[in-house]
Every structure is written in C-alpha cells, then in structure tokens.
Structure 1
Amino acid sequence: MTTQSTLGPPTGVADGDTPEPRPPRRGRRRGRFTPYALLVPALIVLAVITGWPLLQLLIMSVQEFGRAQVFGAAPEFVGLANYLDVLTDPEFWQVLGRSLMFAAVCVVITMVLGILVALLLKRLGAVLRTVVSVGLLLAWAMPPLSATIVWGWIFDTQYGVLNNVLVNTFGLEQYAGHSWLIEPLSFFFVATIIIVWGAVPFVAFTVYAGLTQVPDEVLEAAQLDGAGALKRFFLVVVPYIRPILAIVTILQVIWDLRVFTQIYALQSIGGLAEQTNTLGVYIYRVSLGSGDFGAGGAISVIVVLLLVGLSASYVRRSVKEESL
C-alpha cells in the first residue's frame, strides 16, 4: 500500500508551478492612515497659529483699514487698490532693493564665518571646543534688542569704545565724535556686524553637526590620493553637507529679509529712518506710523509671497533629489 507524501505540492498545483500569491489581508491596511492621523494635531495647531493670522492679513490687505476701523468703523472693500498703490510707490521698490542687498551681504558673511567656525570646532580639543561653544551660545542667547544696545554703546559718538581706540591708539583724529549711524553706509555697516554676530552661532553649530557625520575613512582616502585641504572640503565634505548648507542658507535669507529689531533700535539711537528702512521696519511705519493697515497688509502679503517663493525652490529641489 502506498501513502501520499505530505511534502508534495498543494492540491490543484502541478509540479513545477508556483502557487498564486494570496491577496493581502485587510488587517495590513489598517495602519495606512496612522501617520496622517498623528499629523492632525500638529496641523490643527499650525492652522490656528499661522493660518488664521495669514487669512486675516490677506483680508485686511484688500480693505481700506485705518485708525477709524481700529476703533470699530466698518472696513471698506477696495480689492487690489492697496497692492497697486504699493507696487507703484517708488519708496517701496527702494526699500525692497535695499533689503535684498542688505540680506545678501549678511547671508554671505554669516555663512562664510559660520562654516569657518564649524571647521575650527571640528579641529579643537574637548576643552577649547567647550569654551568656544559656551561663547557662541552666549552670543546666540542674547536678545536682539540687548545686543543692539550694547553695540550701540560701542559705536557711540562721544563715549564709544571704537572712536576712542581709533583716536587714542591709532591717532585718527577725524574719528573724534564721529557718528556711525548718521550715514546710510556706515549705518548698515553697524547693522551687519550686529546681525552677523548673532547669526553665526546657529550656522556654526548646525554645520558642525553635519561635519561630524562625514566619514573619516572617505577623508583619509582622499588625502592618500593627494587631495589637499581645499579639495577635500569642496569635493568630499560639501557634497555630504549640501542639504544642511541649503536649508541654513534659506533660513538666513528669510530671517535677514524680515529683520526688524536691530534696524528699528539703531534708528531710535540716531539713524535716519527714511534712508535706512528695511522691509520689516517699513511695514511697521506704514501700518502704525501712517495708520494705513491696508497698505501694510499688502506689503506683508508681498513679502510672504517672496519668502514662500524662496522656500519653494528648496522644497522642489529636495523632492527631486529624493525621487532619484
């Protein structure tokens, strides 16, 4: 008597044929919407904190909204009139060009110094790295207004340290009682120092974190192949930290375009507001100084669109790199 082996192919499947795959179970699809469900609370908070003010700003930008409306008068819908007034105002284009140039200078200097400090941190020992890190943290943690006041004392006309050093140490008598804030060029020179001084720590720490992820084996192999320090940095290190450099650069552009505290404080100390306004201060003066909140809202929407365009370029490039 013969018995059928239990190790043969299943019933209905011939020898040499592969069994048909079973359809996926419904239980495997239950977790498909879990990531989206986890994002719902954060999206709700983001919509309340960011979305609602942006919606109110957009509504205000198409209305005639002045001091009368602040005290209860009904606003009047004017459509795109505020945008046309802003875009045909020569002062707006002067402020926009001044802000773009100022932001470009600050971003370039900040990125260069931040990368150099990050490379320095990579080479320092544990003790010196800790000392430098504490100094960077103190500069980063100082409020912008406090930092501006301190730097304002350094550049003070009569009692400033810089003028005294230039006169008494280097014998430059022309700097006795020199005002650094009365001229636009020297005003933005001081503003650049203050903004770069507060922004370098963020860039340095972020780039340093990226440098620690570069494999030492790759750097050693490049060195054995005869690559110098500059070639190792640009051909080996930069490709590894390129995403970090891109996002940090975009953040610096956004922050420097909407800078407000440092410029406004320097203007209050002794600067000329009409020749040194940037976008943030210009929106403030148009809205609260002139009482035209509709025009201020229109300028704010234009700035938001500009910043979104800058951010969208990075997001689009990141999506393309991930899809490759």
Structure 2
Amino acid sequence: MASFNLTLSDPSTFILMGIPGLEAVHFLISIPFSMFYIIGLLGNFTLLFVVWKEQTLHKPMYLLLCMLVLTDISMPTSVVPKALCIFWFNLKGITVGGCLTQMFFLHAASVMHSAILVTMAFDRYVAICDPLRYATILTNARVAKLGLVGLMRAVLFILPLPLLLSRQPFCDNRIIPHTYCDHMAVVKMSCGDITVNRTYGLVVAFVVNGLDLMLIAISYSLIIRAVLRISSKKAHQKALNTCTAHICVILMSYIPSLFSSLTHRFGQGIAPHVHIILANLYFLLASMLNPIIYGVKTKELRDKVGKYTCRR
C-alpha cells in the first residue's frame, strides 16, 4: 500500500487499476488470461517455425500468415505482461512514457493486423478469380512490399496519438480504470483541450476499419460473383472453403475491435468491468484461435504441423 501511495504521488506516473470492481478476484481472472496468452504464443510460434522450416510453405499465402502471426504475438504481448503484474503483484504504476509506448505498439499492431487481413482478402481474390496469373501477380517479394506498406501506414497513423498526448497536461487524478493504456482511457486523464485527440482517434478508427472493411467487402463480392459463375457445386464448395479461415479471422478481429472502440466513446451504459474484460479477450482470443483456425482449415499447413508435433 505504501508503494501504491508513493506511485500515486509521482507526477510522471499513471495508475492502471486492472478491472475495477473485481479486484478481489484479480488472481482468479489472471488464470485464464495467462493460459490464453501462453496457448496463443505456443500456437503462433509453432506456425512461424513450421513455415520457416518447410520450403514448400514459402508461398505468398503463408508469408501473409506469418505476418498475421507476428501481429497476433505483438498485440497481447504489449498488454498481458503488465496486466499480470497488476493481477499478481499489485504493481499498478506505469510511467507516462511507458504508457504512451504501450499505446503506440498496441494500436500500431492492431492497424497492421487490419492491413494484413486486407492483403489476405486480395490474395484470395486473385487465387479464385484469376488463378492462372496468381504466381505472377502475388510473388513473395510483392507480398513483402505490401507488408512494408502496411507497417508504414500503421506507424504514420498511430504515431500522432502518443505525440499529441505527450503535449497534454494531465490532471492530479491519474488513475486509469483499465489493464492497459488504451488511447481513449489516457485521453480522459488530460486536463487540457482534448478535441484534437478525440477527433483524430475517432478518424483513425473509422478510416482504418471503414476503409479496410470496404476493401475486404469488395474483394469478397467479386469472389462470390466469380464463384456463382462456376456451374459445378463441388467447385463452389472448394473455392469457398479456401476463404473460410480468413472469414473467421475477420469476424473475430473487426467485431470486438469496433465494439471496444465505440463503447469507449459512446457506451456509458455498459459496466466498466464488462468493457475491460471484453477488450482484453479481443487480443487474447484472437491470438489463441487464429493459428488453430488456420491449422484446422488449411490441409497443407495441418499436415506440416503434424509432421513436427506428432513425431515419436
């Protein structure tokens, strides 16, 4: 308690409260949190290892999957270790610089994740609608360049968020009712004019999610149109099956992300602990389930993973 009061009196420190109202069960909550995180790390690192070892998987589709895996590792890793320090050791203090750094890496990884999902939708469009030219349109080098563009976009969009906040004066009450430094949670700690911060954060959320979802919708509308032109029902099913894993990942990524972003701004009627738990589960479940989904739905990858995991 003494260390908590000392931290509270430090003007360069924020206090992350974890999950307000559920402090008594923080340790119990930490059990599924840590389990989901460890399972997610094991699954994602397994996919990276298998794709790296197997020359037959050195293809654009699996290069994109590796990029997705890296974001699935980065997002929970920027959040979970600090959350577990709160749950296990009551270490709630975080410096302003540390808070803004966490915010940058978390949101940049999220924007990068969205860019990769768009590129994967384009990959599926070319594979189904123009399969004869797939190898010439989507080379490994071109996919790597698209990934670099997505990374640059993430940095350019997200870097202004901590830079704008670093110029803000913060109030004496520096208690953040959350497990991590979400942008809007930190914005509410400011005593200055936060109109620009709020507006820019909202614009980024809608431009990134809105533009990316529109591009994904266009890709899938063209895919569906192409599939409907195929007379064979078996060919229909085969074509759509190649998209199943990607569609599942899209649903798991965008729905919770949009819910979290909108409830922070407009969801005053939602209990804080419900919002915080759902916000954390968004990172944890996506990270844990994405490699499972691709492992189950992609036969070539499933066979290669089995080659390493089922050795006697």
TM-score (norm 2): 0.30
RCO greater where, 1 or 2, for CA within 8 Å and sep 6 or more? 2
TM-score (norm 1): 0.29
Larger radius of gyration: 1
